[in-house]
Amino acid sequence: MSLVDFDAPINFKFNGKALQGFDGDTLASALLRNGVKVVARSFKYHRPRGIMAAGSEEPNALVEIHASGVCEPNRRATTIKLFEGLDARSQNFVGSVDRDLLAINDLLSPFFAAGFYYKTFMWPRAFWEKLYEPIIRRAAGLGSIMKTPDPDSYDKGFLHCDVLIIGGGPAGLLAALNAGEAGKQVILCDEDFILGGRLLSEDIDVDGTPAADWAKLTAHRLMMMPNVRVMKRTTVYGVYDHGIYGALETRRDAIGLKTPRHILWRIYAKTSILAAGATERPIAFENNDRPGIMLAGAARTYANRFGVTLGDNAALLTNNDDGLRTSARHVLDVRGGESVVNTKGRSGVKSVTLNSGQSLPVDGLYMSGGWNPNVHLTCHKRGRPKWDDVLSCFLPDAGNLPADMKVIGSANGAFSTQAVFDSANAACKTLGIKAAMRPKSEDAPVKVTAFWHVKTKGRAWVDFQNDVTAKDIALAHQEGFSSVEHVKRYTTLGMATDQGKTSNVLGLAVLAQASGRTIPETGTTIFRPPYTPVPIGAFAGAHRGTHFKPTRLTPSHKYSAEQGATFVDTGYWKRAQWIARPGEKGWRDSVDREVLTTRGSVGICDVSTLGKIDVQGKDAGKFLNKVYVNTFSTLKVGRCRYGLMLREDGIAMDDGTSARLSKTHYITTTTTAKAGPVYRHMEFCRQVLFPEMDVHLISTTDQWAQYSVAGPNARKLLEKIVDPNFDISNEAFPYMACGQITVCGGTRARLFRLSFSGELAYEISVPARYGDALIRALMSAGEEYGAALYGTEALGVMRIEKGHAAGNELDGRTTAAHLGLGGFVSGKKDCIGKVLSAREGLNDGVALVGFIADNPKDTLHNGAHFSAELGKAGPNEDLGHMSSVAYSPELKHWVGLGFIAGGKSRIGETVYARDFVRNHHVKVKIVSPHFVDPDGERLRG
């Protein structure tokens, strides 16, 4: 009845050796078919390890998959669907997997007992980082990571359904059929590439036909239903709030190809049915980790599903009736007093020593310690499973499941196939879903006697992947670790990539025995997502490289790029930083030229990224009075005003200008960085704090392209663009005027006479779709004045020369007083932040001033701290810090802005600006922050 197509051979390589398997094989079954016993080396002791399981619980058979120049470690051989050209290699060894040089660790095992990290290698202290840790890291661990970017691609998807069924074994198939026939929107996820679960592994019948055939027919029926989505190779790895489930779909095992390898699904389900099955437990006895020692259920999977004979002289060690289904020459039932005390065979078990002293030559050993329901997903929302003495396993606590989750089948302790089917129909009934069929199958009672550990002197493995033995657990208990959570962390039990699927309950039982308690008294750890490992790449999906975040382009982006602009990321925006012209040797050349051209003639800069918020309504002015320290209700129509916004704690939040276009219409601007947060804050004020005001807000940042036109020739240039019926002379349109105009023969525009550069300047805006046309029109009109396009660097230089605060000054620690704007805080009215800005602690006399180097040739650095002397530097000597610096091409020396105790009262004094990062210490003079045109004659001209 094997489900492998022997007419479809598949060629693959294992450790460089060419081998052949068949379609339907996993890498594990193909390796067994080829007689490969040693597949990997263990984590700590480098013990030879083979294949122990047949599913995702496999702790031993971890391999690397290779493709041209790339590799992925820690793939379980049991979950890789064999494909043509697969290049799989063993991992975690030095030399060869058969003769691993690090196997010496096994001889040194007394040094590697539980907590060895904490006990050894402690002295001498300096040796830890330099010697011990690198050696341990090389010797221990699982696989090695690729240090190049992941060549694969990943995707994400979102799905909604009425019923999510997790697991496609007998329980899940029947539940899906019921829900599908009832007309529900159903998603059925299963981690395997064939639906059926244990039906594919056992030699049993359902309704008189072989179980695998029943599974195939039922799966076929489900795939024909338009309202059922069958997702094979899709593992539901996590349960989240409000019916949200995470699932990982594996599209292919090959790596380094272009199509997505994994898809991370977020599934929104009204109800879920957990049919995740159960996992068989190993039994702890001396040397139970040798290749050829396998879980009994896995042996049946390999025999029945894959048609792989593992040996005709195998022994079976079991504590339950289910194990007896396994065909083996020697049956050792612990309930009859038989057990295994040791095994022999370095690269594959050759003999077992029985408790009677007899030594049996064998070619394999199958063990069954009973089954653990896969309760993992019932714990993701803090559910704690309960111990069941009759079944000797933990069951989900029905009273403490994630809302709307039902658990059916062996995941809920129904172990016979008939009990599984019945539990599926019963759960569907509670959801109002009728049974579509009532299949008949074997109904053997569960007969199990708890049996965990054969105590001998040697090491008996509990956690195979993390190399934790029963002795380690006993030692942890002996050293005072009685809480199961502490034992877990001290011994690392259950903390490897398999998250203890085969080891947790066995470890718990060994701890219970060591401490003389029952299992319920010992407690249990619970599970967190993910159920099986999820590659980080799948969480990133397509959001990597340039797609990690959105990219916003300014209206002048294309033109700026044509001009050779270098762009800088400011949030999501790309802004022109400077625009190099031929012959310029570095960014400073370009920036100096842009500043001098602007100050000497005219420059144009894209300022569209500044936030724009449209404020309209009868109470618009009153509303702005609340959110800004300044008074806006008194602003005349056709005028602009600078505004400073505080947080409620009194710290400066943002600044900008507001223009009044009509009695009920203002346009406020924010800094580029704070456009989002300021809008959010203003909506909070409007909706929550002042709901009685008649005012509405909308962000128009993206709707308007806005350019600053600055310099002595700015007006002349604009007169060529602005339609002649609008008078923009100094008399008609003075400093801080604003108005709605038309440009270029009728295009709607807004004009603001604002200046950040300190020059005669305007900001002109048009609907964004005209932005590209306008920048070209402006630059072409400016040709006769030698107009320069300038970037954010020149913008920064000019604002520092003028002493304007920007992001470096509005850094979330400064108040209006610090910024020299204390006088703006209106005494007459309330505003956000006013009460708390008066707190004593915020009024410390620190204020923004200017700095120049005592020796004009010295450079300045921001971040430097001020102190009176060059000696000791510490908090007690600290007077403040430099926040912004620039080379002023107009003054031909560096200028800086900074905060210093005493502020303007210290102008004329000398202090030291000390930069311990760059090791640069400069004597600086405290000056006015207005370096260029301090009286503001230019901007009013």
Report the alpha-carbon angle 899-904-908, nearest 5: 105
Tokens of 50: 């083979």
Which listed range, 168-176, 236-244, 724-732, 930-938, lies at the site for other proteins (CB under 8 A)? 236-244
Q: Is 542 in the site for other proteins (CB under 8 A)?
A: no
Interaction mask 37-56, other proteins, x per CB under 8 A: --------------------
Q: Is 242 in the site for other proteins (CB under 8 A)?
A: yes
Task: Report the nearest approach of other proteins to the CB of residue 283 (Å).
Answer: 39
Task: Report the nearest approach of other proteins to the CB of residue 620 (Å).
Answer: 17
Task: Report the nearest approach of other proteins to the CB of residue 398 (Å).
Answer: 17
Q: Is 241 in the site for other proteins (CB under 8 A)?
A: yes
Q: State which of residues 180, 243, 409, 896 lies at the interface with other proteins (CB under 8 A).
A: 243
242 vs 585 by CB, closer to other proteins: 242
Tokens of 433: 């879903």
Q: Is 694 in the site for other proteins (CB under 8 A)?
A: no
Q: How many CB atoms lie within 10 A of CB 98?
A: 14
Task: Report the nearest approach of other proteins to the CB of residue 242 (Å).
Answer: 4
Instruction: Give the length of the chain.
Output: 941
243 vs 711 by CB, closer to other proteins: 243
117 vs 824 by CB, closer to other proteins: 824
Measured in whole angstroms, the distance separating CA 610 from the mean position of its chain's CA atoms is 30
Q: Is 129 in the site for other proteins (CB under 8 A)?
A: no
Rounded CA-CA distance 941/936 in Å is 9
Instruction: Look up residue 124 and give its DSSP letter.
Output: S
Q: State which of residues 87, 649, 877, 933 lies at the interface with other proteins (CB under 8 A).
A: 649
Rounded CA-CA distance 598/603 in Å is 4
Instruction: Look up residue 639 and give its DSSP letter.
Output: B
244 vs 732 by CB, closer to other proteins: 244
Contacts with 102 (C-beta within 8 Å, 6 or more apart), sequence order: 41, 46, 93, 94, 139
3-state secondary structure at position 261: strand
3-state secondary structure at position 205: strand
| Beta-sheet pairing, 186-189 with 205-206 | unpaired
| Residue 172 phi, psi dihedral angles, 5° rounding | -65, -40
In the block, tokens 């990290």 appear at: 117
Query: Which one-letter amino acid corresponds to residue 619?
Result: D
Q: Are 511 and 284 in contact (CB under 8 A)?
A: no
Please count the residues of this chain forming the interface with other proteins, following the rule CB under 8 A: 25
3-state secondary structure at position 681: helix
6 vs 268 by CB, closer to other proteins: 268
Q: Is 398 in the site for other proteins (CB under 8 A)?
A: no
28 vs 697 by CB, closer to other proteins: 697
Q: State which of residues 44, 477, 834, 865 lies at the interface with other proteins (CB under 8 A).
A: 834
76 vs 626 by CB, closer to other proteins: 626
Q: Is 544 in the site for other proteins (CB under 8 A)?
A: no
Query: Nearest to residue 20, comparing CAs of 82, 98, 69, 95?
Result: 82
3-state secondary structure at position 637: coil
Q: State which of residues 517, 839, 918, 923 lies at the interface with other proteins (CB under 8 A).
A: 839
Rounded CA-CA distance 209/227 in Å is 27
Tokens of 162: 């009425």
3-state secondary structure at position 161: strand
108 vs 698 by CB, closer to other proteins: 698
Q: Which residues 671-690 are close enough to bind other proteins by CB under 8 A? A: 676, 680, 683-684, 687-689
584 vs 683 by CB, closer to other proteins: 683
Q: State which of residues 69, 691, 746, 874 lies at the interface with other proteins (CB under 8 A).
A: 691
Task: Report the nearest approach of other proteins to the CB of residue 899 (Å).
Answer: 23
Q: Is 403 in the site for other proteins (CB under 8 A)?
A: yes
Measured in whole angstroms, the distance separating CA 621 from the mean position of its chain's CA atoms is 44
Q: How many CB atoms lie within 10 A of CB 521?
A: 10
Q: Is 830 in the site for other proteins (CB under 8 A)?
A: yes
Strands ordered across the beta sheet of 314-318: 293-295, 364-368, 314-318, 330-333
Q: Is 692 in the site for other proteins (CB under 8 A)?
A: yes
87 vs 648 by CB, closer to other proteins: 648
Task: Report the nearest approach of other proteins to the CB of residue 241 (Å).
Answer: 4
Residues near other proteins (CB under 8 A) are: 240-244, 268, 381, 403, 648-649, 676, 680, 683-684, 687-689, 691-692, 830, 834-836, 838-839
